[in-house]
Amino acid sequence: MRTLTVKSKSFLEIPCSISGALELIGNHWSLLIIRDLALISDHHGYLWTTTDVSTPALCARLERLIVSGIVERVRYQGLPSCEAYRLTEKGRDLWTVCLALQEWGDHWNASGCGAPPMETVDRKTGRPLKLAIVDAVTGRAVPPHRIELRPGPGADDSVRRVLSPALRTNP
pLDDT digits (tens, 9 = 90+) for 92-115: 999 999 999 999 999 999 999 999
- The mean pLDDT value of the chain amounts to 85
What sections of the chain are H helices per DSSP?
A: 17-25, 28-39, 46-50, 55-67, 89-107, 157-162
Q: Determine what percent of the chain is predicted with pLDDT higher than 70.
A: 83
* Domain spans of the chain, in order of start: 17-95, 143-171
Is residue 90 predicted with pLDDT exceeding 90? yes
**What is the number of other CB atoms lying within 10 angstroms of the CB of residue 162?**
14
In tens, the pLDDT along 151-165 reads 999 999 988 888 887
Which residues does residue 141 pair with via DSSP β-bridges, in sequence order? 134
What is the Cα–Cα distance from 46 to 84, expressed in whole angstroms? 10
What is the Cα–Cα distance from 21 to 147, expressed in whole angstroms? 21
For residue 63, the model assigns a pLDDT of: 93
What sections of 118-162 are H helices per DSSP?
A: 157-162
| CATH architecture, domain 17-95 | Orthogonal Bundle (1.10)
